Each structure stands twice: as C-alpha cells, then as structure tokens.
Amino acid sequence: MVRTDEKRTNENRNYFNWLFRFTASALVVTVMLLLGAFALFKANVFPFGSSQAQSNPNTVEQSNLDLTQTSTMNSEEDASVVKAVETVSDAVVGVVNYQQSQLLSEENSQAGTGSGVIYKKENESAYVVTNHHVIEGANSIDVILSGGEKVQAEVLGSDQLSDLAVLRIDGASINEIADFGSSKELKVGETAIAIGNPLGMEFAGSVTKGIISGLERTMPVDLNQDGQSDWETEVLQTDAAINPGNSGGALVNLSGEVIGINSMKIAKQEVEGIGFAIPTATAKPIIEDLEQYGEVTRPYMGIQTRDLSTISTQQLQNTLKLPKEVQEGVIVAATQNGSPAQEAGLQKYDVIVQVDGQDISSLVDLRKFIYEEKTVGDSMDITFYRNGEKQTTALTLAK
C-alpha cells in the first residue's frame, strides 16, 4: 500500500510539473508574439489604422503639405495688407475741430477730432475729404499730417445729407494722395482695412482689418433731430473696428485703394463689429460738387412735409378727408413763396401719394426719387388728394 501511494504521488507530481512547464511556455510565447506585433506596428509594417490610412501611406506627408500651403496663403495675405497700408497710410490725416470756448470768449478750444483722406493735390493745394459731423460747428480746423505736422484747413463745402465735407490745405508738405477704387465691384467677404485716428490723435494711424459684411445697406438720417427719418444714406457694412475718431478715415481694399469713407458704427452693448462707410461710388460726385460749388446741387420742390403714417385716424378722416384705403403718403404742411410747389398749385393739407406713377409712402421715398431720378429743370407729375378728391399736377424742379 505504501508503494502504491508513493507511485500515485509521483505520478501526480509529474503531471503538475508538466502542466507548469506547458503554461510557462505558453506565456513566454504569448509575450514574444505581443512584443513582435508591437514592434511591427511601430515600424508601420502592420498598421492598425483606418482603411484610409492603410491605402494612403502619404497621409501624414499630405497633411504637412496642407499646413505649409495654409501658412503660405496667410503670409501672402498679410503681405498684401501691409503693402496696402503702406500705399495709403500717409494720405490719411487727422482733423481737429476747434470751437469757441465757453470759458474764454475769444479763444477756441478743441471740440472734437476725426480723420480725413487726401484725395487730390493741385495748384500748390491739397484736398481732404472727411465727414460733415467731424467739422460741424467749427470756428477753425487743423489737419494733422501723418508725420505730425499741423496745417490750417479751409472748409470748401459740407453736406449734412451725405455726411461728407471737403477741406483745402497747403500742399507744400503733401507727398502722397489716395487713389479711389470702385465700390461697385465689391463682394461680401472681401478684405477691408480701416485706417484712421481712434480716440483723437493718441492712436494716430491705427489700422484694423476685417471684411465687407454687407453691400447697399441703408441707414436712416434724422436731420432736424425730431425723431423722424429725413433720409436714408447708402453705406457699406464692415466688421473692421471703427471707433470714435475713425470718422472720415479710409476704408481700403488689398490694392491700397479707398473704397469707402468711414462714417459710423452701431454702438450698443449687445452689438459688436457693425461699422459703416460711405462707398466711393456715392461719395465721388458729392465730393466734386462740394469742391467746385461748396454745396451739393439737388432738385428742389419747396414744401414742408409730414409723413401720413404719423397722423391719427381721426385726423385722416376729419381734417384730410382721405378715403380709408389711403394709409401712406406725404402731407404738404406748407409751401414756400415762389417755389415750384406753389407754382404747381400745391396747398397745405394736400397728400402726395405718387410721383410719375411711383408710389410715395414717406418723405424719404419722395426725396430719394427726386435726388436720384431727377435733375434741376426736370418736370414730374404729382398725384395727390385734396379734401378726399384725387388730383394731378405737373411740377418743374428748381435748383
């Protein structure tokens, strides 16, 4: 019995020894296979990537190439911006508005600053375009050149409706003038560069870059501050930063051409990056009139008006006696003596609803039609209501 037990014990011992050796060998082989697979993976001989990576071994190289191309494109655009700024920056100047001091009646003090663009040099004089609101109310005006020199300016003309003004200065120190490009060829998304003097002359010659955000935008203009729009001016919209003091400065394309005169921005806490510039297509004929005549020559009717939309329903029916379907138009509040309107027979409380067959809903509509479609000396047919009766008359526009 003892021998049998020993035999069995030996057999069991041999069995466990064999099992141990087998397990150990399997573990060693498994570890070696894993290490080998890892080595092949690191060498990219046995890639575990996507099918795209497996079929395109140049993916990494192509990615590096794309980054290089992007970097090159950015560098080229940066170089274009720098060149554009260098081309026009010396033609962008500061404009200082001096008004009579309330403390010293004989002294003028600085009332405001803005920017301007030198667009012409002729007969020892240079000409600067800026905004009307930059020079409004000034007793005297100085222009500060890009190098810091200050020269006195003469106002040749200013136009509140378009917010443009033209100044003349001594041209002895002027070496650069700005070229005007075509704002009609612009597309949304093009690069736009604003150059001016934000916050006075402390940051003179500041440059901001953005894009053209919108074309043919219209902004209401309230000339007499009565809360009613008197005009709608056409502007370019840009997200290039325009701050106080930039008014009258240049909005420039990548060729260094002026495409707009910076004018205003929407300044609200919830609004960011909405600035406006007067396009050169609008500005150029006005600049020419201001330089030559000191004012913009526009056709003239000779009436004072009020929009029909501002009148109560009771007045529409009782005073004007209008049909219920007439809800829009322009009321004649008064006619000036000897004016085209008086000669055409228009009277107080007449309600103009059409001009040359085109519907007129407001004073803005009437002005835009006259200023954009007509010239001095043109005749136009006016359809109006008087005491509820529809009538027509012909009117010849004067200067």
- 263 by Cβ neighbours in 10 Å (0-12 / 13-18 / 19+) ranks as buried
The Cα 67–Cα 167 span in angstroms is 49
Residue 238's SS3 state is strand
Give the tokens for residue 265: 């921005």
Check if the beta carbon of residue 382 is closer than 8 Å to that of residue 303.
no
CA–CA dist 70, 300 (Å, integer): 56
How far apart CA 66 and CA 182 sit, in angstroms, is: 34
Residue 143 CB partners (closer than 8 Å, separation 6+):
93, 94, 95, 96, 116, 128, 150, 151, 152, 153, 167, 169
CB-based burial label for 82 (10 Å; 0-12, 13-18, 19+): exposed
3-state secondary structure of 133: helix
CA nearest to 125, candidates 159, 168, 165, 189: 168
What residues are labeled active site? 133, 163, 247
Maximum CA pair distance of the chain? 149
C-alpha span between 394 and 386 (Å, rounded) = 15
Radius of gyration of the chain (CA): 38
Of 247, 162, 245, 259, the closest CA to residue 204 belongs to: 245
Between the CA atoms of 355, 360, 365 and 366, what dihedral angle is there, to the nearest 10 degrees? 40
CB 119 within 8 A of CB 180: yes
Q: Could you tell me the two tokens for 373? A: 């479609």
Residue 81: strand, helix, or coil: helix
